[in-house]
Amino acid sequence: MFGKSKKNSPATPEVELTAELLQLIAVAAEAQDARLAAARTDLGEATGWSADLAAGTISFEYGDKALTGPVQFIGSYAPDAQSWMWGWAVAGLPDHVTSSVADAAGYGITNSISALTTPKLAAVDKSLADELAAVAIHLSDAGTLYRGVGGSNVAYLAFGELA
């Protein structure tokens, strides 16, 4: 993932892996690993999922019942294009489902971390997409990471307590 050279248009810059961003990635990855391990117990038997971004909820289906909780849209990853787009940059999404990732962008502005403030990034593989999402979730305490595949893109969501 690190050190790959790829051609990109100037409108879609590559991620600048500063020392501070690498430190955030390490801390965030550890925190998400713990949350994901705890969530696997609950989500392991899910037969499906759906998100209602207008309502700000995500549901995991288990046969005739569902667990539902709050959701935040963190970003979207396009594997074929190897690009990442932050949730705050996606037109038409309600503010209440992008507030956490907007908080992370604010942190990026305050601390001059361009990877958190650039709407769309190039040369992003799945590992880096996971890391960027984990950083945003960690900075905003948005919950637990969930990757939802839809078509050729992957939606990165964070969910809170499910009931």
Give me the residue spans of the domains in the chain: 19-42+73-157
Predicted pLDDT of residue 149: 82
Residues 116 and 128: their CA atoms lie apart, in Å, by: 13
Half-sphere exposure of 149 (CA within 13 A, CB side): 5
Q: Which residues of the chain have pLDDT under 50?
A: 1-10
Predicted pLDDT of residue 39: 63
Predicted pLDDT of residue 31: 74
Q: What pLDDT, in 10s, does the model give residues 97-144? A: 999 999 999 999 999 999 999 999 999 999 999 999 999 999 998 899
